Amino acid sequence: MAGRIRTGIAGWVFPEWRKGMFYPEGLPQRAELEYASRHFNSIEINGSFYSLQRPSLYVRWREATPSGFVFAVKGGRFITHMKKLVDVRTALANFLASGVLCLEEKLGPILWQFPESLPCDLKRFGAFFELLPRDTLAAGELAKEHAPRLAGRVATDVGQRRPLRHAVEVRSMSCVEPAFLDLLRAHGIACVVADTAGKWPMIETRTADFTYVRLHGDKRLYASGYSTRAIATWAQRVERWREQGDVYVYFDNDALCHAPFDAAALARAMRADIGEPVRNKRARLARRRPLREAIRGG
């Protein structure tokens, strides 16, 4: 049975998208998620990568989006980039307790991005994968092990058991080996198909019952848009993957406001009815603006 396609953007808070570029002139910043969620059926939460969020924020995000909408949530860099997966049980509990479970039925896959500096240590990866909860009840139990310093700003109660999906994005070439992919397959964790303008590996091997795609730009990382031909090629791939299960596709080429328009173009190419059409053509002007250098997690 064919799966469902979810197409969206990686994050939604970008100053360059305002003033009529993507968000309408005069739209309050607090209304940007609500606006974006009417155009796409899924969005990645990326703020969770940089720091622990609060339960009240997750509740607000859940309530701002329409029925049937799903978030992907990016796991914290403290776990993946700083601790490098070593002794992270409490850190994982803190992440889960920070409000992720407040998304309830709108909680989609959790994305774990591994840095280029993290080599393919199968024992380390295996221990981390064993820690990852596979449903919300297990996540709630682990969340109760959060650090005492978070008391008063956590959410660990779960009203209903729901399955949890995990995906990993690798950036070390040492992970492009059958043993690592077999490990992912054994744990039912998806290996992200990441287009990074050739900077990091793109692995298209299926390791779970769903496919997770991140499109960072095919010519310039975070900065180039996808041509009509490129969109058509990705649409064909997504349709093929859908025959095997659900597909989540997020555009992260946000630097020049390409992401929302490319996501909408992909949906049109697949004839997917995912929300209101993106019509704001003034956004094309943003593509002519010089790229601002920034340090970002991607």
Question: Could you tell me the pLDDT band of residue 159, with boundaries at 50, 70 and 90?
Answer: confident
Question: Could you tell me the pLDDT band of residue 288, with boundaries at 50, 70 and 90?
Answer: very low
Contact call for residues 171 and 201 (beta carbons, < 8 A): yes
Domain 5-288 carries which CATH code? Answer: 3.20.20.410
Contact call for residues 171 and 298 (beta carbons, < 8 A): no
* Residue ranges of domains in the chain: 5-288
For 2-33, what is each residue's pLDDT tens digit? Answer: 899 999 999 999 999 998 999 999 999 999 99
Q: Compute the average pLDDT of residues 194-203.
A: 96
* Amino acid 147: pLDDT: 98
Statement: residue 279 has pLDDT above 60:
no
The mean predicted confidence, pLDDT, of the chain is: 92
What's the predicted TM-score (pTM) here? 0.92
What's at 296, amino acid-wise?
Answer: R
What sign does the dihedral 242-248-253-259 (CA atoms) show? positive
